[in-house]
Amino acid sequence: MTAASSAVADTRPGLHPLRLARLVDEAVVRCALDLTGAVVLTEAATASYAVTPVIAARAGASRVYAVTRSTRFGSVDQVRAETLELARLLGVDNRIQVVDEKRRAIVEDADIVTNSGHVRPLDAEMIAWMKPSAVIPLMYETWELRPADLDLAACREKGLLVAGTNERHPAIDVFSFLGILAVRLLHDAGVAVFKSSVLVVCDNDFGPYIERGLSQAGAAVDLARDAAAGQASVAYDVILVAMTPRPGPVLSESDVRRMAATWPDAVVAQYFGDLDRALVASVGLSIWPVEAPPPGHMGILPAEVGPEPTLRLQSGGLKAGEVLWRYREHPPTAAREFIDHYIV
């Protein structure tokens, strides 16, 4: 489920380091996160995403390796500075090492390896480096797994435990932000939401949360599992697509052509699931966001509405990692309600 569009530091008040430090502490307590003695390999990034290694260290990890790289969101030096500034506020900067590559010695040392952006892909070579007792939290729900992220066959062959996060656990509750994200996506597209008509095309568990958030913001919402189920008599302002990613576009050519013929002035909002953008443009429909998200990724990310959903998502993913790690030694004591289900 990245922030800032340039290498310029994000100065929004909601991302003030002191506030982030407080939110980190609250997340650790809320999830009862205890990584005492664990070595964690995760990522470091800018703005909200600087929190991940800091959460792990604040939860007691003995050592945290945070992989990063320079991107359009910020340089390695910027990421290192933001991460360590936050870590210093919490007194854990001496346990975090920000690195710019996945070195074999680091991978071999890790007990918990997160399936995070700069750590990916977790391919066969990287998995071969991991210790047999290492565990991999997906950092999202199991049904969202993208095959390109992780070589599951290699994990199974080595016997590594892999599991997703139960994002709907009360201590995490990321799904409750899905409606807020939908409202933000439509506001960015120039749609007021209030008094607007929205068709939400969704075949997964995001649907009810998106529908509720848009409805609470004053929209008239129809929720359908496919585009063909939209009401031809309704002049939709928006067709919000939140379909489970798959190989290729999530809407067929006939779906797109019917949408153009029935609701020619509707905005197609790409929330989740890949679209054939050339086809959408060729039939005269408008699409938002302007730039396509990476394959299999959301069109708007949690950090766009503040650090809270990112903190909840990352702390929940680390909690799933803790559960897997502790399950190796003491299966009955693992807080299994924090995980989606074991894949391996």
Question: Do residues 282 and 314 both lie within one domain?
Answer: no
Residue 7 lies inside a defined structural domain of this protein: no
Question: Do residues 61 and 205 both lie within one domain?
Answer: no
Q: What is the DSSP letter of 196?
A: -
Q: Has residue 160 got a pLDDT over 70?
A: yes
Question: Do residues 161 and 202 both lie within one domain?
Answer: no
% pLDDT > 70, the chain: 96
Q: Considering its fold, how many domains does the chain have in total? A: 2
Q: Has residue 1 got a pLDDT over 60?
A: no
Is residue 101 within 8 A of residue 70, CB to CB? The reply is no
Q: What is the mean pLDDT of residues 220-244?
A: 95
Question: Do residues 308 and 284 both lie within one domain?
Answer: no
Residue 31 lies inside a defined structural domain of this protein: yes
Q: What is the mean pLDDT of residues 126-144?
A: 96
Residue 293 lies inside a defined structural domain of this protein: no
Question: Do residues 107 and 195 both lie within one domain?
Answer: no
Per-residue pLDDT at 4:
31
Give the mean pLDDT of the chain. Answer: 93
Question: Do residues 55 and 168 both lie within one domain?
Answer: yes
Terminal-residue alpha carbon distance, the chain: 22
Cα–Cα nearest to 143, from 114, 127, 172, 163: 163
Question: Do residues 76 and 136 both lie within one domain?
Answer: yes
CATH number of the domain to which 103 belongs = 3.40.50.720
Provide the pLDDT confidence category of residue 3 given band limits of 50, 70 and 90. very low
**Phi and psi torsions of 150, nearest 5°:** -150, 130
Per-residue pLDDT at 332:
57
Question: Do residues 136 and 272 both lie within one domain?
Answer: no
Q: Has residue 7 got a pLDDT over 60?
A: no
Q: What is the mean pLDDT of residues 149-163?
A: 95
Provide the pLDDT confidence category of residue 9 given band limits of 50, 70 and 90. low
**Higher-confidence position of 12 and 243:** 243
The residue segments making up the domain with residue 270 are: 190-288
Q: What is the mean pLDDT of residues 106-123?
A: 96
Q: Where are the beta strands (DSSP E) in the chain?
A: 39-43, 63-67, 96-99, 112-113, 135-137, 161-165, 197-202, 220-224, 238-242, 267-272, 286-288, 339-342
Provide the pLDDT confidence category of residue 314 given band limits of 50, 70 and 90. very high
Question: Do residues 21 and 126 both lie within one domain?
Answer: yes
Per-residue pLDDT at 337:
85
Question: Do residues 162 and 67 both lie within one domain?
Answer: yes
What CA–CA distance (Å, rounded) separates 259 from 239? 9
Residue 328 lies inside a defined structural domain of this protein: yes
Cα–Cα nearest to 176, from 145, 196, 205: 205
CATH number of the domain to which 241 belongs = 3.40.50.2300
Residue 44 lies inside a defined structural domain of this protein: yes
Encoded tokens for 249: 């576009």
% pLDDT > 90, the chain: 83
Per-residue pLDDT at 334:
66
Question: Do residues 119 and 239 both lie within one domain?
Answer: no
Question: Do residues 155 and 198 both lie within one domain?
Answer: no
Q: Has residue 126 got a pLDDT over 60?
A: yes
